[in-house]
Amino acid sequence: MTGLLSGRTAVVTGGAQGLGRAIAERFVAEGARVVVGDVDVAAAESCAAALGSALAVRCDVTSEEDVAALVDAAVTTYGGLDVMVNNAGVLRDATMRKMSLDDFRLVLDTHVQGTWLGTRAAAAVMREAGTGSIVNMSSISGKVGNVGQTNYSAAKAAVVGLTKAAAKEVAHAGVRVNAIQPGLIRTPMTEAMREDIWQQRLREIPMQRFGEPSEVAAVALFLASDLASYLTGNGVGGHRRPAHVTTTREPPARPAGRITAAGRGVPAGAAAGSAACRPPRSARSR
Ligand SMILES: NC(=O)c1ccc[n+]([C@@H]2O[C@H](COP(=O)([O-])OP(=O)(O)OC[C@H]3O[C@@H](n4cnc5c(N)ncnc54)[C@H](O)[C@@H]3O)[C@@H](O)[C@H]2O)c1
């Protein structure tokens, strides 16, 4: 098979579903062998079986041992590591008044420590080979800050800083490190969000629509491939208006109810999102 990643080996953390799965699918379609690392090993195994040219490994990205074993699995099974996508993530949204320290720490540990461990382990292999691309999943939340996401916004901003610093450390060895900062994408992570939050976010998106996992996978492919051979230390990201700026044209109407991963409307209230995510009164009235 010929493709942009033909003959290369990639690891994708959190690859069992959502953006990670879309990235793994696109990489395999472009000729890569993919190691799907996920804390949900059953989901990772079913994903790897569906992908074909892929291996599933149980990995909690907050564990140094697990991340080392994940990278070792790629090297042992496929003979090297060309691409590392540090994508695994969790949300524990709540306003600061209600957020527990445990939920703050869990989100920081998963995104920041997890990305650092993955970047460090991958860079150690790649610098020996003199080539490689590391792609870290940040978020627009780290750029603009979201109500109810002091933990997540902090973590995703940190992922960009980590990426820029790591890029400078390993550029001389032929290793590139970049980040993606997606806007709002339909995945299992976001499907439980309340309908009014979806609508509020939609009003802030200049393109007036949500993104699809395949569109983030295309950016990951670009950064992973030789198309981005002179790009390192960058955050490729979404764009959002400040919440107080209104659109000149109303966004297209959507059926009442929240959006599911399949894009279908589910009756509002069927599975209300976290009440803690509710924006302050001033924002809700806009
Ligand atoms: N969906 C969006 O709108 C959006 C926007 C910007 C950034 N992101 C980021 O993209 C990444 C993927 O998000 P998603 O929407 O696909 O989420 P998701 O919940 O659909 O998938 C996340 C995956 O990560 C795995 N995971 C969670 N904790 C883990 C851990 N400690 N170790 C290993 N695996 C773990 C889960 O099992 C799951 O398979 C996350 O880092 C998220 O913050 C998502």
Is residue 106 within 6 Å of ligand 1 at its C-beta? no
Confidence of residue 269 (pLDDT cuts 50, 70, 90): very low
**Fold of the 9-193+210-241 domain:** Rossmann fold (3.40.50)
Measure CA of the first residue to CA of the last residue in the chain; give whole Å.
52
Q: What residues does 137 pair with on adjacent strands? A: 180
pLDDT, tens digit (0-9, with 9 covering 90-100), for 226-268: 999 999 999 998 777 665 544 444 444 444 444 333 333 333 3
pLDDT given for residue 1 in this prediction = 55
Is residue 163 within 6 Å of ligand 1 at its C-beta? no
Do 228 and 176 form a contact (C-beta atoms < 8 A)? yes
Is residue 90 within 6 Å of ligand 1 at its C-beta? yes
Residue 248 Cα to ligand 1 middle (Å):
33
CA 59 to CA 55: how far, in whole Å?
12
Residue 250 Cα to ligand 1 middle (Å):
30
Do 239 and 160 form a contact (C-beta atoms < 8 A)? no
